[in-house]
């Protein structure tokens, strides 16, 4: 009886992870497609002096670090995804699973760009489109990765 309950909880965690990451992937790819069709060559001020939408391509990581390191970043994303899936196999709070789902979805959204937008296998540029003053352009995937980390940290802090 206990084994059935453990399996049910694992399935619940995996489905929660899949739902969170799947939602992020769909939203990220849709917003990147919109940005590519709408903002190329122009910037749209949403809130003057605070928020603009523009189009940028990034071959590096967040904040444009590691430019041209697509292969390394792609392999790191695959490793992170494997670690995330393995980690939800073990019992953990729902908030952590959702946080991991946000991270997995963001990593996958950017990985899709790297795999589909370049000449080679891992050299595609990631589409970024959200701009705040004095801050690098970023995308929804980056935002979800950040909020996923924050969610996990808050969940860990609250469980102390």
Q: Phi and psi (nearest 5°) for 68?
A: 80, 10
Q: The tokens of 18 are what?
A: 């899949």
Per-residue DSSP letter, 142:
H
CA–CA gap between residue 12 and residue 123 (Å, rounded): 35
CA–CA gap between residue 154 and residue 43 (Å, rounded): 35
- Catalytic-labelled residue, pool 8, 28, 123, 128: 128
Handedness of CA 125, 130, 136, 141 (dihedral sign): negative
3 is annotated as an active-site residue: no
Per-residue DSSP letter, 63:
G
Per-residue DSSP letter, 70:
H
Helices (H), the chain: 2-38, 70-87, 94-116, 140-158
28 is annotated as an active-site residue: no
CA–CA gap between residue 38 and residue 25 (Å, rounded): 20
- Catalytic amino acids? 128, 142
């Amino acid at each position: 009886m206990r084994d059935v309950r453990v399996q049910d909880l694992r399935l619940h965690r995996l489905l929660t992870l899949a739902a969170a990451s799947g939602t992020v992937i769909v939203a990220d790819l849709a917003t990147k497609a919109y940005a590519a069709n709408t903002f190329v060559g122009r910037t749209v001020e949403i809130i003057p002096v605070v928020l603009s939408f523009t189009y940028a391509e990034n071959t590096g990581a967040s904040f444009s670090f590691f430019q041209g390191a697509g292969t390394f970043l792609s392999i790191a994303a695959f490793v992170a995804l494997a670690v995330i899936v393995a980690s939800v196999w073990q019992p953990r709070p729902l908030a952590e699973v959702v946080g991991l789902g946000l991270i997995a979805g963001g990593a996958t959204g950017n990985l899709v760009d790297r795999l589909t937008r370049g000449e080679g296998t891992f050299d595609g540029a990631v589409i970024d489109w959200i701009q705040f003053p004095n801050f690098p352009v970023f995308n929804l995937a980056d935002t979800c990765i950040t909020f996923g980390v924050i969610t996990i940290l808050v969940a860990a802090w609250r469980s102390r």
